[in-house]
Structure 1
Amino acid sequence: MSEARALLLSLVSCLFLWENGITAPTCVKDNDDDTALYLEKLYSLTSFMTDVLATQVQNLHAEFPEELLKLVYSLLGSNNNTLHHLVNEMSLLQGNTSALLFKARQIKAKIEDLMEGVKIILTLVEEKENIIYVPSSGLASLQSNSEDVHYFAFYNLIRCLLRDAQKITIFLEVINHKMAARNTC
């Protein structure tokens, strides 16, 4: 909070100077002591504001991968829940669904492994908040008596799983890139 107050005070000071119409050339003559003093203060103020800005951007940058990690964990949890329901409902479908069930179970196991890894990372970055999983909106359709609605629900849920998997991949690549950049700077 003190950084925000310091920045606000600096901005108000700068606006006050700006509103009074004080303008100064970048090249100051030796005999104009008031202008030289003003320029010195203005440069000092802008230097301070730049330092505050850099610190705030650095903090934002550090917090953003933590938020991405929480989002990844939430998406994984939601997908794990969705896959649990898909596996249960697929087993009730008529016909030979063993290949689909096998693939769905493999994906579910990989999601659980990935969730465990992300949970460890969150613990290491001292993120202790509880993360809420958003349930899939298509789960109710799996309970439909209509075979067409049932298959359409499977299709939609699997499509959502694909979209979420792509998001998770991108988010983890961003986090990985940030961590790699941190180690090279």
Structure 2
Amino acid sequence: MPERQRADARRNYARILAVAEQEVAAHGAAASLEQIARVTGVGSATVRRHFPTRRALLEAVSRKRIEALAARAHELAGEGDSRDALLTWMGELVAYCVSARGLAAVLVDDGAGSDPVHENACSAAMEEAAGPLLRRAVRDGAVAADVTVADLIALAVGVVLATEHHPDHGTRADRLFRLTVEGFSPLR
């Protein structure tokens, strides 16, 4: 949000974002933009002016969690066993996506990354943050050399989206994640 915007525009942005956080928590990525506008007390055009796409809204709602995940990746990058560090971060990514409805949808690779107007800023932040973790694990022979951070994010997102309607979503997502780890980790 640019600081040079009028005070009322900054207030509208903050109110819209606060309501959007509640709506996404309740309804996930499918939260209604019209409902957000209604609850906020602004027109849907105002919501769309601040958040021109659903992805832009979801990215804004998810920003704090993305920043926390990025910080955690940096924290783990120099710690202990490289495989354990990467798997810890991946497990935390899955857990965050389970607890933060809509976050998995923000991280979905829609192929628009080559178009800067539609770049997925959350995915890009995760790729940058997890890069050192993955490179270290590959260098140590703990992960196959052809695995990319985008692969790992897609894996986490796939697990979360595949289990989102399960009665025990978190436990099921964690179980599937742990099962898939054997697919990208060499046998020890």
Identify which of structures 1 and 2 has the higher relative contact order when contacts are C-alpha pairs closer than 8 Å and 6+ apart: 1
Q: TM-score, normalised by structure 2?
A: 0.25
